[in-house]
Structure 1
Amino acid sequence: MDRKEVSALVNMRGVKGYFLFRQDSPFEVTKLRVNLTNLGSRVGPYHIHHFPTPPMRSPPQTTCSNDNVGGHWNPFGMDTKDPTYPSGPGSTHDRYEVGDLSARHGSLEGKAVMEAVFTDFNLPLFGQNSIVGRSVVIHRPDGTRFLCGLWMSMRTRHRLSIWTGTCR
């Protein structure tokens, strides 16, 4: 089975960078590399959301709306309102929604630049619960949606497929 690598580019509202996800097989961990600049005090949590971003004809202010990208990718139905749901990093990754990246790996809040590599045990690039083809949403510190984008490419060990998408 070929290794999978997917990326989402961010170039919107002055924020630039990428998210790069790599998983060698369905039985291996996923490596997540985050490289974002010019964050200022404008951003907070970040997540994988259920649906891809819509075509360019959507008004920019609604691109990241719930109607377009849905909520956090949560194929196992984790209840974030449950008092035992982890409020930040430190629990095993199976205790979080699959898409809740900032709860597992820390918020972007207060950072001007984010350059980090994380190992994630519950972020599949293979199978029915895969995050591939969904959207990445960066929220403001108050939780409102600020930026979103779609995977831009998928690379396997032997071939490269280019996906079209937009980051706004």
Structure 2
Amino acid sequence: KGLKATFRGLVVGTVLFTQLSSDPYSDVSVFLDLSYGQLSAPSTVNHNWHVHNYPISTETDNDKGCCLSTGGHWNPYNIDITVSAYAVNCAPDSPFACEYTDGNMPLSGPNSIIGRSLVIHYTNSSRLVPYESYILKQLPANQQLSCGLGVACGRTIHMVYSNE
């Protein structure tokens, strides 16, 4: 089965999440095909992206307030990422100790990312303005930042196929 996020704004393209239909505990593969919507914009790297608690609650992707509606990072088990081990192990020289892989990002069930937002952050951790992806059907930040230079959000993440 799969979910697709479509970005149509400052950032354009898609993010595809896939998982075995027969095993809701199997790894989720994530494929990103994104670029700036303005050809004259310079390329950038090292953008964090996160599933956020809530869908976008604004009328349009261009509404500057849409960034404020997604809440913090989706953390269904309330893992404390402020504990010292996280702070010590998650650093620029050891990025794989951060939030690189999540073995528990199901596309179905009570802790599914469906129905939440996908937010792409600027390299300085603020959100790329103001385009978010919304994951349709059943996606706390390290810091909650205001909308401004900093969030890419695509409007629709939806089920694209399923064997179920």
TM-score range, shorter chain: 0.5 to 0.7
Aligned residue for 1:104, secondary structure, equals coil
Q: Percent identity?
A: 30
Match of 2:30 among 29, 32, 39: 32
Q: Could you tell me how far 1:42 is from its partner in structure 2?
A: 7.8
Post-superposition CA distance 1:10-57 (Å, at most 9, x none):
1211x2111111111213211111111237238721100000111316
Task: Tell me: CA distance 1:43–1:27, structure 2 relative to 1, closer, same or farther (3 Å).
Answer: closer
Partner of 2:133: 149
**Pairwise CA distance, 1:121:** 2.1
Q: Give the paired residue count.
A: 128
Q: Is 1:23 the equivalent of 2:22?
A: no
Q: Which runs of 5+ in 2 are unaligned?
A: 37-41, 136-155
The aligned residue for residue 72 of structure 1 is 73
Tell me if the contact between 1:123 and 1:131 (Cα under 8 Å) persists in the aligned partners.
Answer: yes
The answer to whether residue 4 in structure 2 is matched with residue 7 in structure 1 is yes
Give the counterpart of 1:56 among 56, 59, 76.
Answer: 59
Structure 1 58/23 Cα, relative in aligned 2: closer, same or farther at 3 Å?
A: closer
How many Å apart are 1:141 and its aligned residue? 1.6
State the match for 2:107 in structure 1: 125
Give unmatched runs, 5+ long, in structure 1: 97-102, 106-119, 159-168
Mean Cα deviation higher: 78-87 or 127-136 = 78-87
**RMSD between aligned alpha carbons?**
2.4
TM-score (norm 1): 0.66
Deviation, structure 1 residue 71: 0.1
TM-score, scaled relative to structure 2: 0.68
- Structure with greater strand percent: 1
Task: Tell me if the contact between 1:19 and 1:34 (Cα under 8 Å) persists in the aligned partners.
Answer: yes
